[in-house]
A and B are shown apart, each in its own frame.
Chain A
Amino acid sequence: MGKVVVVTSGKGGVGKTTSTAALGAAVAKTGKKVALVDFDVGLRNLDLIMGAERRVVFDLVNVIQGTAKLSQALIRDKRVETLFLLPASQTRDKDALTEEGVGEVIERLRSVFDYVFCDSPAGIERGAQLAMRFADEAVIVTNPEVSSVRDSDRIIGLLDARTMKAEQGEAIAKHVLVTRYDAARAARGEMLSINDVLEILSTPLLGIIPESQDVLRASNLGSPVTLADPANVAAKAYIDAARRLEGEDLPVVVPFERKGLLNRLLGRRAA
Chain B
Amino acid sequence: MNILDLFKRRTSAPVARERLQLLLAYERQSRGQPDLVSILREEIMAVIAKHVQIDQDYLQVSMERGKTMSTLEIDIQIPNKSATPLALAG
Q: Number of A residues contacting the other chain (C-beta, 8 Å)?
A: 22
Whether A150 contacts B23 in the complex (CB less than 8 A), given A157-B28, A267-B8, comes out as yes
Q: What are the residues of chain A within 8 A of B88 when measuring CB–CB?
A: none
Q: Output the least CB separation between B1 and chain A (Å).
A: 14
Q: Output the least CB separation between B8 and chain A (Å).
A: 6
In angstroms, Cα B32 to Cα A157, docked, is 9
Contact present for B14 and A189 (CB under 8 Å): yes
B interface, over-half SS: helix
Q: What are the residues of chain A within 8 A of B14 when measuring CB–CB?
A: 189, 271
In angstroms, Cα B25 to Cα A239, docked, is 34
Contact present for A192 and B27 (CB under 8 Å): no
Interface set, chain B 1-32, CB cutoff 8 A to A: 4, 7-9, 11-14, 16-17, 19-21, 23-24, 27-28, 31-32
Q: Bin chain B's interface residue count.
A: 10 to 19
In angstroms, Cα B33 to Cα A157, docked, is 13
Q: What residue of chain A has the Cβ atom nearest to residue B12's Cβ? A: A190
In angstroms, Cα B77 to Cα A42, docked, is 43
In angstroms, Cα B41 to Cα A82, docked, is 56
Contact present for A189 and B12 (CB under 8 Å): yes
Fill in one digit per residue for A104-145: 1 if any B CB lies within 8 Å of its CB, else 0. Answer: 000000000000000000000000000000000000000001
- Among B8, B20, B27, which residue has its beta carbon within 8 angstroms of that of A154? B27
Contact present for B24 and A200 (CB under 8 Å): yes
Q: What residue of chain B has the Cβ atom nearest to residue A186's Cβ? A: B13
- Among B16, B23, B31, which residue has its beta carbon within 8 angstroms of that of A145? B16
**Chain A interface (Cβ within 8 Å of chain B)?**
145-146, 149-150, 153-154, 157, 161, 186, 188-193, 196, 200, 266-269, 271
**Chain B interface (Cβ within 8 Å of chain A)?**
4, 7-9, 11-14, 16-17, 19-21, 23-24, 27-28, 31-32
